[in-house]
C-alpha cells in the first residue's frame, strides 16, 4: 500500500500515523515526510505491507485519524497501475520515449490512449501497436467541440493522468480546470523564463548559457502550474537555435519521464502553487 497525506503540522503526526499502521498489523517499508515551515503544512508518504487486510479495511482504519487531523489523503494498492492518456502533436520524441519506457517496464502504467490533433501517420517511427489512437483535429472554430470529445475519452477510459507530450494546443480554461491535478505538461524551457512559443529561439536571442525543460501541472494560467521536475544543460555561443532544439529534446524526454513516474508512484503532493516531490 502507498499512503500519502498532508495536513496542518502538529506535534506527533508521524508517531500517530506509524502507531496506527503498526497496531493494525502493517509493516512499514519506506517513509518520507516534510514540514513546510513557511506554510505550516506537513506532508508524508508511507509504503507499507498491509498483510492480509484489504484496501477498504485500511481506509476504514485510517479514516478517524485523517478526520482528527483534517488530512488530505490517499491510499492506493501498489499493484494498481495508473491509467494514463498521452496527447501529442507533430513532434513525437516525448511520445515515443514514454511508450518505449512503458514497453520496457520502466513506467508501471496502463496507456488508455494516444490522442493527437494529427493523424497516426504523423508518427512513422513510434510504436503505436496495441494502443488505442484517436485523431481529434482542432481549429479555432472547433476547439470547444474537440475538447468536449477529448474530455469524454478521459472520463470513459477512466484516465487518471493526462500527459501533454509536446501537445501544441493550449487547453481552454474550462478543460484545464476539469483536469487540474491530473494533467502534466512538458514545457521546452526552464520556466518561469521563456514562456510561450519558440522558447529556444528566445533563449538563443538572449545568449543564455544553459537551457532546460520543465514538467508542471496544467492550470488555467498558461505555463504557471506547480512545477514537478526540471533539468538543464550547458550550451555555448556556438549553438544555433537548431542545436538548442536538438539538445532540448533530450532534456524534455528525461524530465517528462521522471515527472510521469513520480506521479504514478504517488510521489508528488500539491502544496499550493508548488509541489512536494518525494524522490526515490
Instruction: For residue 270, give the nearest of 214, 221, 227 by alpha carbon.
Output: 227
Distance of CA 222 to the CA centre of its chain: 16
- Name the CATH topology of 2-76: Alpha-Beta Plaits (3.30.70)
Which residues face 216 on adjacent strands? 185, 227
**Range list for CATH 3.30.70.260 in the chain:** 2-76
Distance (Å, rounded) from C-alpha 154 to C-alpha 181? 14
Q: What are the angstrom distances between the C-alpha of 149 and each of 119, 155, 161? A: 16, 10, 17
The grid cell for 25 is 498489523
Say whether pLDDT at 119 is over 60. yes
Is residue 107 within 8 A of residue 265, CB to CB? The reply is: no
Neighbours of 271 (CB within 10 A): 17
Residue 205: predicted pLDDT: 74
Which helix (H) or strand (E) is 229 found in, with range?
A: strand 227-234
Neighbours of 233 (CB within 10 A): 14
- pLDDT, averaged across the chain: 93
Distance of CA 280 to the CA centre of its chain: 16
Q: Model confidence over 179-203: pLDDT tens digits?
A: 999 999 998 876 556 666 677 677 6
Q: Model confidence over 266-280: pLDDT tens digits?
A: 999 999 999 999 998
**How do strand 82-88 and strand 227-234 relate by DSSP bridges?**
unpaired
**Range list for CATH 3.40.50.170 in the chain:** 82-277
**Catalytic annotation, residues:** 223
Is residue 147 within 8 A of residue 134, CB to CB? The reply is: no
Residue 70: predicted pLDDT: 97
**Ramachandran assignment for 30, one of left (phi > 0), alpha (psi -120 to 50 degrees), beta (any other):** beta
Mean pLDDT across the stretch 129-141?
96
Q: What are the angstrom distances between the C-alpha of 186 and each of 39, 53, 56? A: 27, 39, 35
Instruction: Give me the torsion for CA of 278, 247, 120, 196, rounded to 10°.
Output: 70
Least confident of 116-125, 214-223, 231-240: 231-240
The grid cell for 110 is 496502463
What value does the CA radius of gyration of the chain take, rounded to a whole number of Å? 20
Neighbours of 113 (CB within 10 A): 20
pTM above 0.85, yes or no: yes
Residue with the three cell numbers 502534466: 184
Under the banding of pLDDT at 50, 70 and 90, the label for residue 174 is very high
Distance of CA 205 to the CA centre of its chain: 30
**CATH number for domain 82-277, candidates 3.40.50.170, 3.40.50.970, 3.40.50.10880, 3.30.420.140:** 3.40.50.170
Amino acid at each position: 500500500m502507498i499512503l500519502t497525506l498532508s495536513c496542518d503540522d502538529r506535534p506527533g503526526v508521524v508517531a500517530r500515523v506509524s502507531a496506527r499502521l503498526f497496531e493494525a498489523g502493517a509493516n512499514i517499508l519506506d517513509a518520507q515526510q516534510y514540514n513546510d515551515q513557511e506554510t505550516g503544512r506537513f506532508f508524508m508518504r508511507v509504503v507499507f505491507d498491509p498483510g492480509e487486510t484489504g484496501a477498504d479495511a485500511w481506509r476504514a482504519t485510517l479514516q478517524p485519524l485523517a478526520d482528527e487531523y483534517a488530512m488530505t489523503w490517499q491510499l492506493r494498492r501498489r499493484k494498481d497501475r495508473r491509467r494514463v492518456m498521452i496527447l501529442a502533436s507533430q513532434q513525437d520524441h516525448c511520445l515515443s520515449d514514454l511508450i518505449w519506457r512503458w514497453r520496457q517496464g520502466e513506467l508501471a502504467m496502463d496507456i488508455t490512449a494516444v490522442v493527437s490533433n494529427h493523424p497516426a501517420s504523423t508518427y512513422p517511427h513510434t510504436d503505436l501497436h496495441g494502443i488505442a489512437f484517436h485523431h481529434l483535429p482542432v481549429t479555432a472554430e472547433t476547439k470547444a467541440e474537440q475538447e468536449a470529445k477529448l474530455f469524454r475519452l478521459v472520463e470513459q477510459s477512466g484516465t487518471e493522468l493526462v500527459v501533454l507530450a509536446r501537445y501544441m494546443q493550449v487547453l481552454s480554461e474550462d478543460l484545464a480546470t476539469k483536469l487540474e491535478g491530473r494533467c502534466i505538461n512538458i514545457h521546452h524551457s526552464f520556466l518561469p523564463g521563456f514562456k510561450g512559443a519558440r522558447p529556444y529561439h528566445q533563449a538563443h536571442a538572449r545568449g543564455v548559457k544553459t537551457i532546460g525543460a520543465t514538467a508542471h501541472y496544467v492550470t488555467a494560467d498558461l505555463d504557471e502550474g506547480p512545477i514537478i521536475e526540471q533539468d538543464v544543460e550547458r550550451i555555448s555561443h556556438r549553438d544555433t537555435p537548431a542545436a538548442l532544439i536538438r539538445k532540448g529534446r533530450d532534456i524534455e524526454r528525461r524530465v517528462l519521464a521522471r515527472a510521469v513516474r513520480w506521479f504514478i508512484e504517488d510521489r508528488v503532493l500539491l502544496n499550493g502553487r508548488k509541489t512536494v516531490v518525494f524522490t526515490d
